[in-house]
Amino acid sequence: MATARQTDPRLQIMTETIEGLIPRATPAALSVAVTEALPGLGERSNTWTGSPAGHAERLFTALYGRPAAGDPLSPLAQAEDAKRARDIVGEMAALQRGHADLTAAPWYPARPGDLVHVHYEAGGLSDAFGETYLITAGTDGFLSMQLLCHTLSATEDAEGMVGCFAVDDDPDPLMELWFEAGPHRLTIVRDGRPVHSGGA
């Protein structure tokens, strides 16, 4: 299923060409790896791994500039679109692609001290607003994500929306936020530097 960023046919052709390197492969199960072997250092090497769509987007950006964004969809929204279209393959592919994009990110997994900001567009009864969460060590060996602050007024938060992604002792505290809000709405800061700028 094409995402909003893949509406340009040139980007779609690049993605399909990369996916076609392995005939009859399942696109959602594919990844692209680029490895730099460092001479004289034995087994050490530098590696970049990503999805075929991510690799195609990098090539497209280098050649033509950033693809038209349209309205990006979260992995969950992409899966729901496919489900409404009765496309079980597209639904599973969207979920698998979302998981692969998170777990293949060079900054993954989250670490204590990471700051996670999520931006929400204006809609319904509220203006645009943001929430900032802090990743901390949990009490039982996993990680927690605590709400630090938000920019939604108390009157706008009548339904208690703020802080809904806070978790305690979760093996992967970013998973729900990544799938539901979407990577395009997230900014993740580690050691004072952005490591993921979804809105950029």
**pLDDT of 2:** 42
Q: pLDDT value at position 190?
A: 93
For residue 45, the number of C-alpha atoms closer than 13 Å in the C-beta half-sphere is 9
Which pLDDT score is estimated for 39?
A: 73
Q: What is the side-by-side strand order in the sheet with 129-137? A: 167-170, 143-150, 129-137, 115-120, 186-190, 193-197
Domain ranges of the chain: 4-73, 115-197
**Average predicted confidence (pLDDT) for the chain:** 82
pLDDT at 19: 87
Distance of CA 142 to the CA centre of its chain: 21
* Interhelix angle 52-64/9-19, nearest 10 degrees: 140
Q: Give the model's pLDDT for residue 71.
A: 62
* Residue 46 pLDDT exceeds 80: no
Average pLDDT over residues 168-192: 91
What's the pTM value of the predicted model, to 2 decimals?
0.61
Question: What totals of helices (H) and strands (E) does the chain contain, helices first?
Answer: 5, 8
Average pLDDT over residues 139-158: 81
pLDDT of residue 66: 67
As a whole number of angstroms, the distance between CA 20 and CA 5 comes to 20
DSSP string spanning 141-179?
SSEEEEEEEE---TTTTTT--TTTT-EEEES-TTHHHHH
